Amino acid sequence: MSEMWTAKLRNKWQKNLPIEKLLPDDQPAYVASWIYVFGVLTLSALAVIIFSGVILAFEGPAWYHVSHAGKFINSMHFWSVQMFFVFMVIHLWGKYWMAAWRGNRFRTWATGAIAFVASIATAFTGYLVQTNFDSQWISFEAKDGFNSMGIGAFFNVTNLGQMLLLHVAFLPLLLGVITVIHVLMVRRRGVVPPIDAEPTVSGVGR
Amino acid sequence: MSISKKEKEAFDAAPWSGATKRYDIVKEGSIAVAIVAILAIGLSLLMGSPDETPLTFKGWAVSNADNFYATAVQELAGTSGSATYGAPYNKASEGLNVGPLWLQKWAGVSHPVDTVNEFVIAPLSTQVMSTDIASALATWKAASDKQKQDWATAYDDAITKAEGKISAVPAGAYGPVPALAQGLTDMAKGGALDAALLSQGGFFQTDNTKQILFFGDGSYLDDAGTTANLQGGTWGMMNETGRYPGQAWLWLYSFWYQIPPFNNEESKPIGANADAYIMYLMGALSLGLILIPVIPGVKSLPMRIPIHRGIWRQYYAANGIKRRKK
Ligand code: HEM
C-alpha cells in the first residue's frame, strides 16, 4: 500500500499540512500586529483583480472604451492592481524586517519574491493590452529592452494578440499557482516566531 | 543563557508550543475581501481610470504631413529607426551587447520587417490610385534594386538638407519616390493606412508590430510621449497618462535610466547599450530579492535594526528581550 504514489502523496500531505494546520482556529499569541493583515489584503486585492478581469474578458478588449459599465469595471481592475502592489510591497518590507524566512521558511520567502516578479510581468502585459495611447507608447518603448536580450524573439510586446493571451491566461495562472504555493507554505510552517524568542525565556506564554 | 545559532533555527522551525489565542482566519479573509472591494468600487466611482484614445496614422499625416512624408521616404531609403534596427526585425545592425554577450543578434531575425515593401509599397498597392501614383508604383517595381536605393537615398538626403521642409526640397533625380511618398501621405490622411499596415493583405490579424514600428519612426508618437510626460529619461516608465498613478513598482527599473552612464547614449559601452545593461542589472537584483535570506549582511540587517521590536512589542513586553548569540 505505502508503495502507491497516491498513498505516499496523501500521507505526506496529511503529515505536513493536516486540515487543522490549513484552517487553524488559533494562532500563536505573538501574532498581534497590523503587519499580518497585509498578506491577506494582497490576496484580497488579487481576488478583486481576477473578478473584474474575468468580466472584462467576457466583454472583450474594446468594451471598456465605449461603455460606462465597461469603464467602471476597468477602473476596478486598475485600482485593485494599484492596491495589490501597495499591499504587497508593505507585506514584503514587513516580512523582511521580521526576517520571516527564519526557521526553515526560505521557500515561503522565495515563492513570495517570485510572486512579486510574476506580478510585475502580469501587470506589464496588462498595460500593453489597454488598446489605447498608453499601450501604443509602452509597446514602442519597451520593445528595445526585451529585444536587447533576445527575449523579443518569443515575447513580442508589439504583438497585441500574444500579449492579450499571456495577460489573461498564462501569466495569471502562473501567478495564481505561485500564490497558492506561497500561502500553503505559510500554513505548513506556521507563523514565524519573533526574533530572539527563546525556549529558555521565562514568563508569559511559556 | 544564550543558545547556538543552530538551536535557534531549530526553535524557529518547530511548531509553536507557547501561548496561543483564538484567531478566525476565514473571517479575517472575508472582511479583507469586502474592504478591498469597497475601496476599489469607491476609487472607481470617484476617479475612473486612464484611457486616452490611441493615436492614428491619419492624425499623424493630418497634423504633421511633412514629418509623415519624410518618414515614408526614410522607410524607402532604409534610414528609419525600424529599417536600421537589427534583430529581431532585420540584419541592419548588430544590436546591443553586454561584453561578449550579443543576445540580440544571436536570437536572430524572428520577426522580419521589410520597411520598403511592408510599410510603403504593399499598403499603397491596396489602393485604387490616381494615374501618377499608379505609374510611380509601376516604375518603382520595374527598377533595379540599385536604382531604387539611389532614388530614395538622394531624396532622403535632400529632405534632411532642407530640414524636413518638403516644399523647400530642390528638384533632383528622385525617380518615383516623391510620388510614392505623396501617395502614402494621402492614404494616411484618408485613414486607410492603419488597417492596411495591420492586415498586410490578410483577413485575421492580431499582431501590431508593423504599425507600432512605423509609428515610432516619426516624431508624432515621440512628441505625444513628451507631452504626456512619459519619456524614459524623465521617469516616464512609471508615469501614467492623465492624473493617475503609474507603475510605481517600476521605480528601480526606471531609476537606472536617470543616472550616468546609463542615461548617456554616447557613453560606451554602458550608455550605448543601456537597455541591455539595465535588463541584466534588474535580473540580478530580482534574483537577489529571492535570495535575500542567504545573502550575508542583507539577511542580518533585520536583527540589527530593531524594527521587529515594534512589530512584536506585545510579545517582548511580556517576555523581555534576550540577546541572540552571534
Ligand atoms: C501575490 C503576492 C503575495 C500574496 C498574495 C501573499 C500572501 C501571504 C499571506 C496571506 C501570508 C500569511 C499572512 C501574513 O503573514 O501576512 C503571507 C506570509 C508571508 N509572505 Fe507573502 N504574499 C505575497 C507576496 C510576498 C512577497 C513579495 C514576499 C517577500 C518577498 C512574501 C513573503 C512572505 C513571508 C516570508 C511570509 C511568512 C510570514 C510568517 O511566517 O510570519 N510574500 N503571504
What is the model's pTM?
Answer: 0.94
pLDDT above 50 (res B230) = yes
* A19-40: pLDDT as tens digits: 999 999 999 999 999 999 999 9
pLDDT above 80 (res A138) = yes
Q: Which grid coordinates are listed for A178?
A: 505561485
pLDDT score of B267: 86
Binning pLDDT at 50, 70 and 90, where does residue A193 land? very high
* B166-209: pLDDT as tens digits: 999 999 999 999 999 999 999 999 999 999 999 888 899 999 99
Q: Higher-confidence residue: A118 or A199?
A: A118
Cβ(A83)–Cβ(B248) below 8 Å: no
Sign of torsion, CA A173 A141 B86 B212?
A: positive
Element (H, E) at B72: helix B65-77
ipTM of the complex: 0.92
* B113-160: pLDDT as tens digits: 999 999 999 999 998 888 999 999 999 999 999 999 999 999 999 999
* Nearest alpha-carbon partner for A84 in B48, B230, B282, B245: B245
DSSP-derived secondary structure for B240-286:
-SSSS---GGGHHHHHHTTSTTTT-TTSTTTGGGHHHHHHHHHHHHH
Q: Do B36 and A203 touch (CB under 8 A)?
A: no
Return the C-alpha torsion angle A35, A40, A41, A45, nearest 10: 150
The residue of chain A with its CA nearest to that of B22 is: A26
Q: Which atom of ligand 1 is nearest to the CA of A178?
A: 1
Q: Do A25 and B22 touch (CB under 8 A)?
A: yes
Report how far residue B299's alpha carbon sits from residue B292's, in angstroms, rounded to the nearest whole number: 6
Distance B19 CA to ligand 1 centre (A): 23
pLDDT score of B2: 61
Q: Higher-confidence residue: B125 or A3?
A: B125
pLDDT score of A128: 96
Nearest C-alpha of chain A: how many angstroms from B176?
31
Q: Kindly list the residues from chain A whose CB atom is less than 8 angstroms away from the CB atom of residue B294.
A: 106
Interface test with B, best of A137, A144, A151, A162 (most B CBs within 10 A): A137
pLDDT score of A201: 44
Buried b (16+ CB within 10 A) or exposed e, A37-53: bbbbbbbbbbbbbebbb
> Of the ranges A114-118, A197-201, B182-186, which one carries the lowest mean pLDDT score?
A197-201
Report how far residue B177's alpha carbon sits from residue B79's, in angstroms, rounded to the nearest whole number: 14
pLDDT score of B298: 96
End-to-end CA distance of chain B: 13
pLDDT score of B235: 87
Report how far residue B249's alpha carbon sits from residue B126's, in angstroms, rounded to the nearest whole number: 44
> Of the ranges A45-59, B11-25, B210-224, which one carries the lowest mean pLDDT score?
B11-25
Distance A185 CA to ligand 1 centre (A): 9
Q: Which residue matches cell numbers 554577450? A: B101
Return the C-alpha torsion angle A143, A145, A146, A150, nearest 10: 120
- The rounded mean pLDDT for chain B is 92
Nearest C-alpha of chain A: how many angstroms from B15?
7
Nearest C-alpha of chain A: how many angstroms from B75?
17
Q: Do A148 and B279 touch (CB under 8 A)?
A: yes
Q: Kindly list the residues from chain B whose CB atom is less than 8 angstroms away from the CB atom of residue A50.
A: none
For range A66-86, the mean pLDDT? 97
pLDDT score of B1: 47
Of A91, A101, A184, the residue with max ligand 1 atoms within 8 A of its CB, to mutate for a pocket test, comes to: A91
Residues β-bridged to residue B22:
A26
Q: Do B237 and A101 touch (CB under 8 A)?
A: no
Share of chain B above pLDDT 70, in %: 98
pLDDT score of B326: 41
Binning pLDDT at 50, 70 and 90, where does residue A151 land? very high
Nearest C-alpha of chain A: how many angstroms from B29?
6
For range A142-154, the mean pLDDT? 94
pLDDT above 70 (res B39) = yes
Ligand 1 atom 20 nearest Cα = A112
pLDDT above 90 (res B219) = yes
CB atoms within 10 A of CB A73: 23
pLDDT above 70 (res B52) = yes
For range A78-100, the mean pLDDT? 98
Cβ of residue A43 lying under 6 Å from some atom of ligand 1: yes
Distance A43 CA to ligand 1 centre (A): 9
Binning pLDDT at 50, 70 and 90, where does residue A185 land? very high
